[in-house]
Structures are given as structure tokens and as C-alpha cells.
Chain A
Amino acid sequence: MLLYIGSTIFVLFNAMDETESRVWNGLFWVIQLFICINAVAKSFLQESRGRMLYFYSIASPGSFVLAKLLFNSLLMLLMSLLSLLLFVLFLGNPMQNAGQFIGLVLLGGWSLSLVFTFLAAIAAKAQQNAAIMAVLGFPIIIPQLLLLMRLSSAAFSPLLTIPLSTILLLMALDILVVVLAVILFPFLWKD
């Protein structure tokens, strides 16, 4: 995973000379999206049948999916911070308001990881790996990604402030995802 982040950002570094802050922002979120798909897709697709059966015998579906969500959120938060660090190192630092942007990166990483964890659970049942996850996930994530990009562009200029209502909206969507995952996962669990 670390290598994946490193090499992707290094390719970007070689492809672009100097990036404008808007391009930087767009690239950053797209890379975030792909990192998330690669990091989170593993969580369900790599589990062997035997291990799933073992989990099935020791845990309830609700607690199992909550554990998965928690683990993937932490993983994604770490990955987000790392990729942010590499972005700043290789592609420069156009941020005017670094604190706000880091907060948004953490929030965005969390949202992405929650949505894709649940989609990975669905994709694992469909037996087709990463391709179906992209097809299922991209349309669903676009609205959140659009909001995140818009919010984070505010961190690049000293004049704009980030509206609190939009952040609350994103958090509400995250909570909605968790609730839905707990309700719906038992139906995917049985095989």
C-alpha cells in the first residue's frame, strides 16, 4: 500500500511540472479515491472462505461490520495523511490554511473508507473484484467528492471560509452509511 501511494504520487510528480492549486486539489482527491479503493477492497476480497466461516461462528454480523468499518477508517486516515505528506513534498504546498485542509482530508478519508467498505462487502458477494467496485462506487461517491473538493478549495484562498453546514451534512451522510451498513450487512453475511 505504501509503495502504491509512493509510486502513484511519483508518477504524478514526473508527469506535471508545476501544479496550480485547483489542479492540485482535483488530483489529490482523485488519488485519494484510488488509494481508498485499493486499500479497502482488500478487506473483504482477501478473506478466505474458511476465515469468514470462523468469523461467522464467533461474532454477530453487526459487530463484525462495525469492526471492519473501524479498521478501514483508521487505515484510510493513516493513508490520507501519508499521501498528503507526499503530495506536499513532491508537488509543492499551495495550502493557505493547512489546518482546515488537514481536517477536511481526514473527514474525506473517513467518508470514502466507510462507503467503500460496505461496497467491498457487496462486491465480494458478486465474486468480481475491483472492477465491479468501481462501477458500484463511483456514482455513489461523486456527490460527496464534489462537496469535499468544493470545501477544500476554500482552504487555498485566505478569503473564503468553510461553511459549517456542509461539513455537518458530510458527517450526517457518514453516520447514515454506518447505520445502513449495520442494518443491511446481516443479509449479505449468510451464504
Chain B
Amino acid sequence: MHKSWWKILSVLLLVYTFTAGLLMNVPRLPPLQETIRNLYFHVCMWFAMMILFTVSVVNSVRYLRSFKLKYDIYARQFAVVGILFGLLGYSTGAIWASFTWADPNNSIFDNFKTIARDPKLIGAAIALLVYAAYLILRDSVQDADKKARVSAVYNIFAYALLFPSIWILPRILPSLHPGNNGDNPALDVKNDISGSMRMVFYPAVIGWTLLGVWITTIKIRLNLLKEKTMLS
């Protein structure tokens, strides 16, 4: 119980995010209006996803350095929860886009083919596909050591190619998404978000990330227990 402070912190930060995020005053920018509150959820999902994928890669590297199977389980579980956050990010983004980018008389589905062509959405879709491929690769190898080794290699290779391209690509191609000519590909923290919103935004990022880590640790414990019962 002495190590549970960060779980309590996560719950507190998320409670703060929901109350302050939904009740506090926000600037009403012309196309966004009240939907800007989605920033506390949509953007945080992507932050959490990237952090979880990074942790997954770090664990793959640790596996290749030590060949301890527990690091492989860590890497896999962080990737799975990362995908979960990515899907949530995609769906919150779709809801947001249907209120801001799409024609109000048409639903998101009618405009999907134009919206999905946006480079930032392509990047997000690629990230999810890469990690889905990682899971498929893992399941296609039978031997536990070989599985761990091959998937760790793919994880590192894919991460190293994916992340430069999703950070650089959106800066080159035109897009509807915010942060177009700024330095940051997804949002411009200094200009897009007012000071009071940043007071909610940063705690929200930390809260969601901690929640992701919490879910992952539970899944890791479950998997380690399963391995133990299988081996004995």
C-alpha cells in the first residue's frame, strides 16, 4: 500500500480534470466554441499513447539486453494499452471533427473519406496499424524466447521509423488540424491554449498517463501470474 500514492494522485487529477474541464470558463473561439473542452480528453489520449509506446520500446530494449522474459511481457502490455488509448484518441477526435470540420448537416461518415486523408489522421492510423502488426507478429511465433526476440526487434525498428515520420510528416503536408505552421505538429501550446486552460491541460495529461500505467501494471501482474501457473 505504501506505493499507491500515484494511483491516488491519478484519481485526484482525473476528478479535477472532469470537474474543472467541464465547468471552468473557456475562451469561445469561432469554429470551436464549447467543444474546446475536448482538448482535455482528445489531446491527452495521444500524449498517453505516445508515452506508453515509448515505455514499451524501452522494455523491448531492456529485454534484448538481459533476455528476461518479464520485460517482454511489459513491452507487450504497454503496447496493448497504448493501442487502447490510441483508439480512444481516434474516436474523441472523430467526434470533435464532426462538430468542427464537417458539414453540420452531414454526419462524420459522409465526410470520412476527405477527413481521413488529413496527414495527422494518417499518422495516427499508421501508428495503430504498426502496433496491431506487432501483436500479430508476436502471436505468429510459437517458441517463447524466439517470439520475444523477434517482436522486440520489430518493436524497436517500427518505433524508430514511425516516430520521426509522424513528427516530421505533418509539418510538411497541409492539414486542417491545428498546429499547422507552428513548431509542434498537433497543437501550439503557447498560442492555442489560454493560461487557465493550461492549468487543467497539464494535470489532465499526467492523470490520463498515470491511469494508463495503472491499467498496464494490473495487466502485467495478471500475465505474470498466468505464466507462473503455466510453467509450474
**A residues whose Cβ falls under 8 Å from a Cβ of B:** 115, 118, 122, 125-128, 132, 135-136, 138-140, 142-144, 146-147, 150, 166, 169, 173, 176-177, 180, 184, 187-188, 191
Decide: B133 and A146 in contact? CB cutoff 8 A: no
Q: A115-B161, A139-B126, A139-B129 are in contact. Are A147 and B169 (CB under 8 A)?
A: yes
Provide the residues of chain A in CB contact with B172, threshold 8 Å: 147, 150, 166
Provide the residues of chain A in CB contact with B168, threshold 8 Å: 169
B199 within 8 A of A: no
In whole Å, how far is B25's beta carbon from the nearest beta carbon of chain A? 40
Q: What are 26 A-B interface contacts by the 8 Å CB criterion?
A: A118-B157, A122-B153, A122-B154, A125-B141, A125-B150, A127-B141, A136-B137, A139-B126, A139-B129, A140-B130, A140-B158, A140-B161, A142-B126, A143-B165, A146-B119, A146-B173, A147-B172, A150-B172, A169-B168, A176-B160, A176-B164, A180-B160, A184-B156, A184-B157, A188-B149, A191-B146
B162 within 8 A of A: yes
Provide the residues of chain A in CB contact with B4, threshold 8 Å: none
In chain B, positions 110-133 with a C-beta closer than 8 Å to chain A are 119, 122-123, 126, 129-130, 133
Provide the residues of chain B in CB contact with A187, threshold 8 Å: 64, 149, 152-153
Provide the residues of chain B in CB contact with A143, threshold 8 Å: 123, 126, 161-162, 165-166, 169
Question: How far apart are the CA atoms of A188 and B157 in the complex, in Å?
Answer: 12
Return the 7 tightest CB-CB contacts between A and B, nearest first. A143-B165, A139-B129, A139-B130, A125-B150, A139-B126, A126-B140, A184-B153
* Interface secondary structure of A, over-half rule: helix
B9 within 8 A of A: no
Question: How far apart are the CA atoms of A115 and B126 in the complex, in Å?
Answer: 16
- With contacts A135-B136, A143-B166, A184-B157 known, what are 10 further pairs, Cβ within 8 A? A122-B153, A127-B141, A132-B140, A139-B133, A139-B158, A142-B122, A143-B161, A166-B172, A173-B164, A187-B64
Interface size on B, residues (CB 8 A): 31
In whole Å, how far is B44's beta carbon from the nearest beta carbon of chain A? 24
Question: How far apart are the CA atoms of A139 and B165 in the complex, in Å?
Answer: 11
* Interface secondary structure of B, over-half rule: helix
Question: How far apart are the CA atoms of A30 and B166 in the complex, in Å?
Answer: 21
Question: How far apart are the CA atoms of A128 and B123 in the complex, in Å?
Answer: 27
Decide: A132 and B137 in contact? CB cutoff 8 A: yes
Q: A136-B137, A184-B153 are in contact. Are A176 and B126 (CB under 8 A)?
A: no
In the complex formed, the residue of B with least CB distance to A151 is B172
In whole Å, how far is A150's beta carbon from the nearest beta carbon of chain B? 7
Question: How far apart are the CA atoms of A107 and B24 in the complex, in Å?
Answer: 53
Q: A138-B129, A146-B169 are in contact. Are A180 and B157 (CB under 8 A)?
A: yes
Interface core residue of B122, B146, B153, B168 (most chain A CB under 10 Å) = B153
Decide: A135 and B133 in contact? CB cutoff 8 A: yes
Question: How far apart are the CA atoms of A135 and B128 in the complex, in Å?
Answer: 12
In whole Å, how far is B213's beta carbon from the nearest beta carbon of chain A? 25
Question: How far apart are the CA atoms of A191 and B137 in the complex, in Å?
Answer: 17
Which residue from B122, B136, B153 sits with its C-beta under 8 Å from A132? B136
In whole Å, how far is A87's beta carbon from the nearest beta carbon of chain B? 25
In chain B, positions 63-110 with a C-beta closer than 8 Å to chain A are 64
Decide: B164 and A188 in contact? CB cutoff 8 A: no
